[in-house]
Structure 1
Amino acid sequence: MINMTLSSGIIEIIACCILIFVSLLGNAILIFCTWRCITRRLPTSFALIFSLAFTHVVKNIVVNTTSVVSSAGFLPNVLLCKIRVFTASMTTKLEIWFTLYLAVFYCAKLHRVVYPLRTPPNGKWRKHHLIAVFALWVMAIAVCCPYLVFGNNAQNLTPLNDSYSLHYNFLYEECRVCFPDTAVELFYHQVFMVIADLLPIVILVLVSFCILLLFHAQKKATYGNIWIGHDPSETEVLRASKVIVLLMVLVTALWVTHFVLVWHLKYIGSWYLLPAVLAVLFSGYSTLSPYLLMLINYKISLKIRSLRSFCCTNNRLCPGSQKSIPEKSTTGE
């Protein structure tokens, strides 16, 4: 049993360290290359990408780092538990909400590509988008604030049995949330907070289905009917819409699997690999999605290629020099 406990802790620490490294690397490259692409004003898509990347960084630094500390044998105190649970809930909701926002944004752009408007789009919508991004941050913080008030200390919890206590997971067992009323716990913690994640995921699936229908309409259209060519901005929208569908599949699969495992935690709590599996499912989206988000915008992809070419040239890893690719204009937002 001792060897199993050591293996469980070591595996969770290794998994969390890998998640932290891969996520911070991907989000750092994404933020750097996106920032280099800004010329005059902040486009809406870039604001959403910045928000997603910053959310990923916060989740990995706070949640996974404290998981490593807990797996190393240091019990968390009351304040650390409150911050941990609050950050985990807030970042998960922001990831889902901003992904949904990005999906709706590019679904509307794809609709204009497939069915062009007779009049140019209103440029004043950009200010409204930025206000909406700020409002989502405020809403997520307000919704998750009760966790900062009602977070309980892990040291006051009594384990169910010796074998189960050996496989405690920091987020789900050591930092429980204690509400003063059972009705509040039921309607807020178990109903409202789940709906706040599940409802946007359902809408995200529907939006992705609309994107697939628009792709089908675009393939059937002819040059003389609706769709009229491969403009660089239109090509960017088509590529970004495909990435959105992949993001939908990723976030939905990870969230549903994670939710099912947590819901049945008392039945599978003795599985010594469970903490590492939960950590991978919980932070998998923040680890993998930055590398998909790099493909959305043409200029971001171009900056990443230039950065890779620069690094390879300095380290002499790339045989020969690569030809420079001229920048193309992106969609005005």
Structure 2
Amino acid sequence: MKLSASIIEIIACCILIFVSIVGNAILIHCTWRCIRRRLPTSFTLIFSLAIVHLLKNLVVNTINIISSAGISTNATYCKIGLFTSSLTTTLEIWFTLYMAVFYCVKLNRVVHPRRTPPNGKWRKHHVIGVIALWITGIAVSCPYLIFGESLENQSLLNSSLCIQHGFLYDQCSFAFGDPQVELYYHKIFMVIIDLFPLLILVMVSCRTLLLFREQKKATYGNIWIGHDASETEVLRASKIIIFLTLLITSLWVSHFVLVSFLKIAMSWYLTPTILILLCSVYSSLSPYLLMLINYKISLKIRALSSFCCANAKKPTLSDGEKSSVPVESVAED
């Protein structure tokens, strides 16, 4: 029995929502348990990304499920869906870029050590920067919440032709009033808002690769002395950020190309499902990679997994491991 496009779309959305909720819930729980006195910068970025991921899957994919199930929708669903999709996609890129720059600077300190210790006052500046990104993202995406509308006539026409693009691509539109303003905002400005940070993200990743190349050749007085736990954490986090860069860039470019040539692929059976996957896979898979960035978060996840067993005990660190655990002020500032 051949499944319809709507059923496949519902199944894909349910899987994405489930995977995202599990991953982000574990990430938030373990990250929160690691906080002692102050909120480290990396934890602030992880919290922000986790919230963004949950918003995208719980709001956007739930609306897609409602539409695919045949439940009647109106302009309100379009406004909320377009706004949330735009906001979460933009913030995902911005916060990933922020994290990439953050760890690129820390990796540069590992490869080229400084005599002076890092300034702890930067923590407050990072928190202000994260809040500013949230406010900017909401302000940039607000027009979708105001001028989004439902195209009922176009939806009926596509239904008669057995063409399905997905709810946000087929039944929703952005009506600004002035076609020129709509063109400059919807098709130029919003693309630049995402594309420009992605280009910077790729360049930062290239710089990180160059630092890795220098790190392999680095010695201190012609003697290689290895790395402590905090430096190992920076090296591991930088590698994960490179993989996240490849993932988010490839997904965004593929999604942009498919939407640009949507008229050509309008009769493709799996077009709605592919669009949903390209839009939401990053928010569902990246939490599991973010769990590996911080050393203390990894320990909490191990403790949580062992706690699920009836007679399991919380893992303890040996004296040697305790001495190698990075100090919060050194590893996170």
TM-score by length of 1: 0.93
Q: In the alignment, is the contact (CA less than 8 A) between 2:83 and 2:142 conserved in 1? A: yes
Q: Does 2:60 correspond to 1:63?
A: yes
Q: Which sections of structure 2, spanning at least 5 residues, go unmatched?
A: none
In structure 2, distance between residues paired with 1:142 and 1:124: 28
Contact 1:218 1:227 in 2 (8 A): no
1:325 aligns with 2:317: yes
Q: Match of 2:137, SS?
A: helix
* Structure 2 equivalent of residue 12 of structure 1: 9
Contact kept in structure 2, 1:258 and 1:278, CA below 8 Å:
yes
2:299 maps to 1:302: yes
Other-structure match for 1:145 = 142
Give the match for residue 208 of structure 1.
205
Moved more, 263-272 or 222-231: 222-231
- Alpha-carbon separation, structure 2, partners of 1:156 and 1:144: 26
Does 2:163 align with 1:171?
A: no
Counterpart code for 1:42: L
Q: Partner of 1:24 in structure 2? A: 21
1:275 to 272, 285, 288: 272
| Alpha-carbon spacing, 1:332–1:44, altered in 2? closer, same or farther (3 Å) | closer
Determine if contact 2:148/2:174 at 8 Å carries over to the other structure.
yes
CA-CA distance at 1:121 after TM superposition:
1.3
Residue 86 of structure 2 corresponds to residue 94 of structure 1? no
What amino acid does structure 2 have at the position aligned with 1:65? T
SS at match of 1:152: strand
Give the Cα separation in 2 of the matches to 1:71 and 1:332.
Answer: 44
| Contact 1:96–1:200 (Cα < 8 Å) also in 2 | yes
User: Normalising to structure 2: TM-score of the pair?
Assistant: 0.93
Report what 2:181 is aligned to: 184
What amino acid sits opposite 1:325 in the alignment? Answer: L
Match of residue 217 from structure 1: 214
Report the Cα distance in structure 1 between the residues aligned to 2:127 and 2:316, rounded to whole angstroms: 33
The Cα offsets for residues 139-170 of structure 1, whole Å up to 9 and x where unpaired, read as 00000011111111232435555564541311
- Describe how 1:109-258 pairs up with structure 2 within 5 A: 109-157=106-154, 161-162=158-159, 164-224=161-221, 228-258=225-255
Corresponding residue for residue 257 of structure 2: 260
Question: 2: distance between equivalents of 1:18 and 1:162?
Answer: 26
Q: Describe the superposition over 1:168-214 as per-residue Cα deviations: whole angstroms up to 9, x where unpaired.
A: 31111111111211111111000000000000001000000000000
- Asked if the contact 2:307–2:313 (Cα under 8 Å) also holds between the matched residues in 1, the reply is no
Q: Counterpart amino acid of 1:220?
A: K
Do 1:114 and 1:227's aligned partners in 2 also have CA atoms closer than 8 Å? no
Of all paired residues, the percent bearing the same amino acid is: 64
Q: Residue type matched to 1:230 in 2?
A: H
Q: What secondary structure is seen at the aligned counterpart in 2 of 1:265?
A: coil
Distance 1:34 1:322 in 2: 17
SS at match of 1:176: strand
**Partners of 1:223 and 1:229 within 8 A in 2:** no
Give the secondary-structure state (helix, strand or coil) at the position aligned to 1:266: coil
User: What is the distance in 1 between the residues matched to 2:315 and 2:33?
Assistant: 20
1:51 matched to which residue of 2? 48
Q: Residue 40 and residue 178 in structure 1: after superposition, are their counterparts in 2 closer, same or farther (change >3 A)?
A: same
Do 2:41 and 2:332's aligned partners in 1 also have CA atoms closer than 8 Å? no
CA distance in 2, matches of 1:233, 1:322: 23
| Residue number among 268, 282, 285 corresponding to 1:285 in the alignment | 282
Runs of 4 or more off by more than 6 Å in structure 1?
none
Q: Is the 8 A contact 1:110 1:214 kept in 2?
A: yes
